[in-house]
Structure 1
């Protein structure tokens, strides 16, 4: 590091062009984002990253670059989410935990991307699924609840730790009932289960997903079809569980058989049940928290890994939801 007046300069040598491109981003957009977050100046000169700024700014920027090293060093693009998560870990004094998280690769997507938890709460969620037979994940849209569960489920299937995957969710959106939708059972169910199919396609590819569905290794069905069954040697994902009633939740939780585990995901701020109906997810997460073998993970807007705007949307609605009722009274 060199010092000139009140400003300092730090030069980081990058291993290859792929790492440099992954760190800089398209049109150096990632470097510009890091500049706005830290106040430092970042310039890529060949395979050298030059960081300049006041001492505190430089140290902050250099620390973030180091925390996301496991991503760019493997030629994987660094996103705004990755930068924000690393910066948040630094501010919370948990830089070492974040560094360890960067080494936790869960799988590789069909497009070659390395799939890993991207925030510390996501890492805690993944660790909970590994260690517990029943895991609840509550959080807003975009926090990776369903996708990370699908990643772990596919990995356990590949490692033969389970024999099948069972993916289910209640079909209550938009007030529609299955009996009134056109087509056979599969056609009726597909619109409700599309997010689960999307996750499987990104992990396995459409052809392999279709083959495993035909063989019954992967089963995708509405919640109503779980009644009366015992799900053994299976990884079960109950998605959109905020739309279950307490009776439905109790029914599906008692389906768990030997050598199986279950992950229940949902967003308690997006309940589509009739007004006044208690969400089975809310009740179960409160009743079962602290029970041996059960984990309850709560993700927040800071764990949103979609477009950065999604995080701001979630936060805006959260502020509205906690605002005094008087704000909404028209005189």
Structure 2
């Protein structure tokens, strides 16, 4: 028996309308389907975990089924994954998650047609991976940026390109490149030659990267005038670096005191990029790295 003061409704009235089920088919080259699917379709399962849609693989077709807006979202994620694979980057589970996060937060991932950071002798320097794109964007947006990762990931090279770009655009008046001068347990005092001879091997990688972006013939003149400075980290003590783009390379070989000293050198109109690899610390075993402090 239903009380008189309780109003009843039909079963359909008690429920919200069911979302419209949509279907969409994404046709890709077979190699692209393999690249974005991952081993045992691991990447596709990651996508399905965050969207309200199903992904079915049929040859070189991906069939998407679900609520219309979720199918559209899924299609956009898969297209970004395919674009990244097409540009030579391996689509790993981590890359898949970052694509999803960036699309949800920003609505876009990579601008593949963006102008190069710098060009010299027909060689354009631009980010090639999702991580590099985020790194370059961070350098644009923040005064201090840490770039951590193994050798060969472009940490120092891209930072150098951004420094040259900033100098050419007159956003800064000088570039300062520095590294700790202690590596592999060696002490400068025991090395032969003048101070310049002693520190040159440590700074050579920075010189080499610079020569790939700036005419080598004008580099000596820029260094003599102080527009470009390459020096050991110890030379930064007591200075305030205004209107400068400063790169600290091999920062894993700084002590906590050295790192603090370096960070407090930041002046007006300056940027700092600190790069390093915590798996390659050459400090004495009991000495903690300033990059880990």
Aligned partner of 1:83 among 88, 97, 100: 88
Aligned partner of 2:223 among 192, 200, 213: 213
The aligned counterpart of 2:125 is 115
The aligned counterpart of 2:83 is 67
Between stretches 184-193 and 249-258, larger displacement belongs to 184-193
Call closer, same or farther: CA 1:175–1:64 in 2, change over 3 Å. Answer: same
SS of corresponding position for 1:224: helix
SS of corresponding position for 1:249: helix
Call closer, same or farther: CA 1:171–1:66 in 2, change over 3 Å. Answer: same
Aligned partner of 1:271 among 278, 281, 284: 281
Alignment of 1:128 with 2:138, yes or no, is yes
Call closer, same or farther: CA 1:114–1:277 in 2, change over 3 Å. Answer: same
Alignment of 1:54 with 2:59, yes or no, is yes
SS of corresponding position for 1:130: helix
1:147-226 to 2 correspondences below 5 Å: 147-226=157-236
After superposition, give the CA deviation of every residue in 1:10-49 in whole Å (9 maximum; x if it has no partner).
79xxxxxxxxxxxxxxxxxxx9x9798479xxxxxxxxxx
1:32-51 to 2 correspondences below 5 Å: 37=35
The aligned counterpart of 1:142 is 152
1:209-288 to 2 correspondences below 5 Å: 209-283=219-293
SS of corresponding position for 2:235: helix
SS of corresponding position for 1:173: coil
After superposition, give the CA deviation of every residue in 1:305-328 in whole Å (9 maximum; x if it has no partner).
xxxxxxxxxxxxxxxxxxxxxxxx
In structure 2, C-alpha distance between the alignment counterparts of 1:158 and 1:261, rounded to whole Å: 15
SS of corresponding position for 2:230: strand
Give yes or no for contact 1:109–1:202 (8 Å, CA) kept in 2.
no
Flag the structure with higher helix content. Answer: 1
How far the C-alpha of 1:136 sits from its partner, in A, is 1.1
How many residue pairs end up in the alignment?
230
* Greater relative contact order structure (CA < 8 Å, 6+ sep): 1
Alignment of 1:105 with 2:128, yes or no, is no
In structure 2, stretches of 5+ residues that fail to align are 1-25, 38-57, 63-74
In structure 1, C-alpha distance between the alignment counterparts of 2:151 and 2:270, rounded to whole Å: 27
In structure 1, C-alpha distance between the alignment counterparts of 2:223 and 2:178, rounded to whole Å: 14
TM-score w.r.t. length of structure 2? 0.68
Give yes or no for contact 1:162–1:260 (8 Å, CA) kept in 2.
yes
SS of corresponding position for 2:193: coil
After superposition, give the CA deviation of every residue in 1:178-201 in whole Å (9 maximum; x if it has no partner).
222233322222110112111111
How far the C-alpha of 1:108 sits from its partner, in A, is 3.7
Call closer, same or farther: CA 1:153–1:81 in 2, change over 3 Å. Answer: farther
Call closer, same or farther: CA 1:256–1:64 in 2, change over 3 Å. Answer: closer
RMSD of Structure 2 on Structure 1 (CA):
3.2
